[in-house]
Amino acid sequence: MKHTTAPLCDALRRFVEREQAPFYSPGHKGGRTLDPWFRANIAALDLNNLPDTDTLHCPEGPILEAERLIADAWRVGQSFMLVQGSTSGNIAMALAALKPGDPVLVQRNAHKSVVAGLIQSGASPIWLWPRWDGVFGVAHGLDAPRVEAAFAETPAKALWVLHPTYFGTTADIAALASACDRHGALLLVDGAHSPHFAFHPELPRPAEQSGAAATVQSVHKIISGLSQAAVLHIDPAKLDPAAVRRALQLIQTTSPHFAIMSSIDLARRQMMLDGRLLLDQTLDRARRTARRLAAIPGLQVLRPEHLAGAGTGLHQLDETKLLVGVSGLARDARAIVARLNRDHGVQPELGGTGHVLCITTIGNTERDMDRLVAGFAEVADHAGRRDAAGGSALIEDILAVPPEMVLTPREAFFAPDEAVPLADAVGRIAAEAITPYPPGIPLLMPGERLTRTIAGLLRALLDAGTPISASDPQLNQVRVVR
Ligand SMILES: Cc1ncc(COP(=O)(O)O)c(C=O)c1O
């Protein structure tokens, strides 16, 4: 073993020294948007819970004051600082709002931290399928009529939605909130990608001001938080603040990083003092770049003209995100992303089937945008055109599979399990999620029965070369409940 090396740090250093044009999170883009004193003193700010610094688990001093300012800035009843990302907020939300066995309507393209919240709380999900977009190859939000129909069938305790999706699209959050009101249910929101919505009128409507009982936001993803910086906003009339604090004490470290917490404090100050102007500039840069990218043969960019209207799962769009449709060039965008990185020093957030996602924030510059457009122009030229028609015929079949939940995610998590060949798994209960990309929506969740139809679809997906997320991506073995 070569202990003279530090492989992780070496890799990070090489990455940093290449000065990639950053189209990924965190939003500060290599520290560009951070307060100069803070940036120079991050190591000195790595402190402990001391009388002068306050304690995250039971704040009484500057942390409490900072949390009150956060609540005021986002215009909510109460806010909590998080140092373990939206992941911890989603889990805390579940533990504070749901009890074992509680029925909860959940958007099926939920982040894995939502599933973690279901496992930890023991709640019983009723999955709702989001609106599928075959052009860009992504799932959007929930159509309101689908939510209404689900409430009519099951008097659920809560509705748990994404606002926005990873790709920046939102459902009609006001319509979903009023459905919750009518059915006496709590609206729980994974708003990981929405910490900036409250600070610009041309961004989608903020869930935290639209009737949500709880909304979690990753301050690090879009505005000037360090990684792991997040906030949990609640309406204290709907969710007991003491229950939320208790849940957070169960989840969060007792040694929170003070630089992470300070970055939330400073991101709030920055948004309140300069947010409108900074986001004006960000939107303007992103809109101009979207037009330049869309003019490149083979590319299209998701824009407001693609929206589907009130009450739909594609109601609003965060235009700072550039979702670039590349199916006119290639089915799988991973090679495009690799070429942008290697040959152009441009790093997008991700490449999936038919799309590349670029996250632009207050930290990007005109030069970044020029590099992105030049990189895409060369990549498109190199790739040549292809007939975008066709896509994956299997997607409609995947989206039509009715889930058969036998155990709750919690029961499945704690059940003894074993790995068996796919053929032997037919009729058994899955102990893991299995998710093909596309559509990036689990075909199976832990606790659901793996039927003959599902096994057939999984074989067809493997034959088609569709990437599958599972403990064994080749599905030679599948984990099932014993
Ligand atoms: C939709 C969504 N929710 C929650 C999370 C978790 O956020 P964090 O990384 O801040 O824990 C993510 C992370 O990518 C996400 O995309």
Q: What is the pLDDT of residue 393?
A: 72
Would you say the CB of residue 86 lies under 6 angstroms from ligand 1?
yes
Q: What is the pLDDT of residue 388?
A: 63
Mean pLDDT for 98-107 is 98
> Is 206 inside a domain boundary?
yes
Q: What is the pLDDT of residue 156?
A: 98
* CA atoms within 13 Å, Cβ hemisphere of 408: 18
Residues 312 and 306: beta-carbon distance below 8 Å: no
**Do 258 and 117 belong to one domain?**
yes
CATH of residue 140's domain is 3.40.640.10
Q: What is the pLDDT of residues 272-320, one digit of tens each?
A: 999 999 999 999 999 999 999 999 999 999 999 999 999 999 999 999 9
> How many angstroms separate the alpha carbon of residue 335 from the centre of ligand 1?
25
- Give the domain-ending residue among 267, 282, 304: 267
> 0.85 cut: is pTM over it?
yes
Domain that holds residue 404: 394-481
Closest-CA residue to 479 (of 434, 436, 414): 434
Would you say the CB of residue 24 lies under 6 angstroms from ligand 1?
no
Would you say the CB of residue 192 lies under 6 angstroms from ligand 1?
yes
> How many angstroms separate the alpha carbon of residue 296 from the centre of ligand 1?
31
CA atoms of 328 and 229, how far apart (whole Å): 37
Residue 430's beta-bridge partner residues? 480
Structural tokens at position 103? 């029925």
Q: What CA–CA distances, in Å, run from 422 to 233, 343, 481?
A: 43, 40, 13
Which of the four pLDDT bands, split at 50, 70 and 90, describes residue 385?
A: confident
Q: What is the pLDDT of residues 357-372, one digit of tens each?
A: 999 999 999 999 999 9
> Is 28 inside a domain boundary?
no
**Do 400 and 263 belong to one domain?**
no
Closest-CA residue to 192 (of 105, 117, 255): 117
> Is 15 inside a domain boundary?
no
Distance between first and last Cα of the chain: 39
Task: Give the rounded percent of residues in the chain with a pLDDT score beyond 70.
Answer: 99
Structural tokens at position 339? 């070429």
Which of the four pLDDT bands, split at 50, 70 and 90, describes residue 43?
A: very high
Would you say the CB of residue 214 lies under 6 angstroms from ligand 1?
no
> Is 465 inside a domain boundary?
yes
Q: What is the pLDDT of residue 1?
A: 86
Report whether pLDDT(445) > 80.
Answer: yes
> Count of domains in the chain?
2
CATH of residue 468's domain is 3.90.100.10
Q: What is the pLDDT of residue 392?
A: 65
Burial (CB < 10 A; 0-12, 13-18, 19+), residue 332, is: middle
Task: Report the 3 state secondary structure along 355-423.
Answer: EEEEECCCCCCHHHHHHHHHHHHHHHHHHCCCCCCCCCCHHHHHHCCCCCECCCHHHHHHCCEEEECHH
Q: What is the pLDDT of residue 378?
A: 97
Does the N-terminal peptide bond of residue 26 adopt cis geometry, omega within 30 degrees of 0? yes
Q: What is the pLDDT of residues 7-17, one digit of tens each?
A: 999 999 999 99
- Give the domain-ending residue among 243, 267, 291: 267
List strand residue ranges (DSSP E) for 24-178, in order: 78-82, 103-107, 124-128, 132-133, 138-139, 158-162, 169-170
> Is 289 inside a domain boundary?
no
Q: What is the pLDDT of residues 211-228, one digit of tens each?
A: 999 999 999 999 999 999
Burial (CB < 10 A; 0-12, 13-18, 19+), residue 426, is: middle
Instruction: Determine the atom of ligand 1 nearest the C-alpha atom of 227.
Output: 10
DSSP annotation of 49: S
> Is 468 inside a domain boundary?
yes
Q: What is the pLDDT of residue 176?
A: 98
Report whether pLDDT(389) > 80.
Answer: no
By most ligand atoms within 8 Å of CB, the mutation choice from 111, 188, 216, 435 for ligand 1 is 111
Closest-CA residue to 185 (of 148, 146, 217): 148
Q: What is the mean pLDDT of the chain?
A: 96
- Give the domain-ending residue among 203, 234, 267: 267
Q: What is the pLDDT of residue 332?
A: 86
> How many angstroms separate the alpha carbon of residue 83 from the centre of ligand 1?
13
Would you say the CB of residue 194 lies under 6 angstroms from ligand 1?
no
CA atoms of 289 and 372, how far apart (whole Å): 9
> Is 106 inside a domain boundary?
yes
Would you say the CB of residue 113 lies under 6 angstroms from ligand 1?
yes
> Is 182 inside a domain boundary?
yes
Report whether pLDDT(391) > 80.
Answer: no
By most ligand atoms within 8 Å of CB, the mutation choice from 25, 113, 253 for ligand 1 is 113
